[in-house]
Structure 1
């Protein structure tokens, strides 16, 4: 957080949370990926995820995370890309918790669709079309605010501490409680876009997403015991600071737009 959970894209006095140095450049019809600043490393305060525990998790080669929305479409953050267009330069890695494992599934992208109207504030979602389907479970999206409370799970390959820059290929997981807009605004004020963003974090600090986690899902179980995505890792001030929640794209706000966009890919 002073992180876009993308290292150097300064938005609303906070960095987005992707491990990258610049924005993605769109030239003609070819989308260029962000240059990586450091090898991805895991969630702050997390513990190792078991193999196949979160089979929908995806690591993206520009230093972001994501989740399988369809078997050939990854949902990630808009700030991880810059515009919409065709590209084969992004590689999605799935099927493993260790990115160096021999069983890793690697698939190139064919197209990126950034949220229409995205300008660096709110609407922080994007879709990446893959060259072929990945035969793994997808992650269902919340379509209303019913599940936007309680305790959420976060997982990713992002930094283990603020500006850590250390390398690890292991997927870590953690749990963070919902933080109401009113409480979240005590720190962020008007920078928080209520209705488009949802906050979560441990009051004492020590557990959070961080650089390199951008675009990854925040999720929980629904009433039937199935995983449901309620947020997309977006931004915040620093990482895991006391009384400073993480800010996530509120998936339920955009679920219909995401479905319409995915149908065009």
Structure 2
């Protein structure tokens, strides 16, 4: 069969798995998708057991208004135990875009001093005060560590930093406009983190709404810094209240506060430059903040301060053209309204829960990015924080839909095609590495225009193989809304609770990826 020939003989291989994308065979074996590869030096725990930090310094964040923290200041601050008050270890697959920033000095072991997020395969979003500290170093290099919840674990990937770009209006004396970008020398393997746009910030960052901050922190009094990724939930503080605490000159449209009046929980549990997330429309976590500064850590009436991601949307877009800014809540076209309603039932309660960090997460994206040319080959990757039954669909702006996974069109050793399952924390490639080796790929075909991928993960207890088997041959789904509604109804019936009760989605998740096909 010709390399570019669409599988077209028989019902089992008659259709491509998705609209605008044809499943083809006969290609040479390709490299397997993986975000958990590579070997790198371990963090130096000894360097993190230095003297206790100045109590007026935030833990891994700036707080001294008169002096910017150095890299050693940031490293020393990691020994304080109040970083993990009421925090918890993050689940595998929950925060796949998290990155730790390391310094490598000649003759010394590397150590982590700041955090960031992968927003493009070549770019990391972090704090400007981290970037300022990096620029002051001579005879040192930097790299990011991605794809792991354990900095000392075996599965991780390190990428060198090639360029440090702090915001041009960064004010170190007030820690204002505290955002920066790191350009990588090689490609990151982690999924891009979705960001909240400027208009969307007003809907998501509202007083008392809970968000989640993550980072690597200490675990015992005077003990070593933890290699484990930690998470904590904190509420957004009213802007005028934040200004009363820190002053109008330090709290502007460029930042906001989050924390409890009684203290205890704080962003000190995250490194400088690390992210703050708030659940979006379908429960997906959108990054709304960058850990910036604060007085102490977890002190009563002294909330943490975060740089507002949406405020810097234009600046970020100018440098990172494929940054994934989510623009609005709700469907853009009426044709997908029914789909949104069904998906919303799955993730109902995600935005109102007091513990958003407990929400399950699934992330789907196309490795080659959101803009594809006709004839181009593509790969899909999915990662989930919970194990369960996985279904992937594609839908265009006119509502025409296909099922991508599970699929009978790709060999899996199963009579009915690939098993509709995903394991927590394990990256799933579609096609898989084995299928790629056998020559199966997706190729972009007309028509041109907007498309979106939809990933749905349901608990193992939900019996859905019969439903997903109906269109596993790649044929058109006559009514995706109806099919999703049937899947969702089966899930709801298994919860064992009254229908009127809203239960946070801790074992089920939805993700969408919008992309465009061009000539």
Structure-1-length-normalised TM-score: 0.82
Q: How does 1:37-76 map to 2 (within 5 A)?
A: 37=76, 43-62=84-103, 63-76=113-126
Q: Identify the match of residue 287 of structure 2 among 229, 238, 244.
A: 229
Give the count of matched residue pairs. Answer: 247
Q: Which residue of 1 aligns with 2:71?
A: 20
**Which string of whole-angstrom CA distances, capped at 9 and with x for unpartnered residues, describes residues 158-216 of structure 1?**
4569x967421111101000001111123212353220111000222111122861000
Distance in 2 separating the partners of 1:205 and 1:246: 10
Q: Which residue of 2 aligns with 1:139?
A: 193
RMSD after superposition: 3.0
Q: Which residue of 1 aligns with 2:251?
A: 193
Whether the 8 Å CA contact 1:203–1:244 is kept in 2: the answer is: yes
Q: Which residue of 2 aligns with 1:125?
A: 179
* CA 1:205–1:160: 2 relative to 1, 3 Å: farther
**Which string of whole-angstrom CA distances, capped at 9 and with x for unpartnered residues, describes residues 41-94 of structure 1?**
864431000111100111111400001111221100000022898x98111011
Whether the 8 Å CA contact 1:88–1:108 is kept in 2: the answer is: no
* 1:94 is aligned to 2:153: no
Q: Select the structure of larger CA radius of gyration.
A: 2
CA-CA distance at 1:250 after TM superposition: 0.9
Return 193-202 or 87-96, whichever deviates more: 87-96
Structure-2-length-normalised TM-score: 0.44
Higher helix residue share: 2
* CA 1:147–1:10: 2 relative to 1, 3 Å: closer
Q: Secondary structure at the match of 1:37?
A: helix
Distance in 2 separating the partners of 1:229 and 1:164: 31
Distance in 2 separating the partners of 1:186 and 1:160: 33
Distance in 2 separating the partners of 1:38 and 1:83: 14
**Which string of whole-angstrom CA distances, capped at 9 and with x for unpartnered residues, describes residues 107-160 of structure 1?**
111111110121213110000111222222111111122211211010001456
Q: Which residue of 2 aligns with 1:27?
A: none
Whether the 8 Å CA contact 2:57–2:296 is kept in 1: the answer is: yes
Q: Secondary structure at the match of 1:132?
A: coil
Distance in 1 separating the partners of 2:286 and 2:133: 27
Any gaps of 5 or more consecutive residues in structure 2?
Answer: 1-54, 104-112, 323-519
Whether the 8 Å CA contact 2:196–2:310 is kept in 1: the answer is: yes
Following TM superposition, where does structure 1 have runs of at least 4 consecutive aligned residues deviating by more than 6 angstroms?
38-41
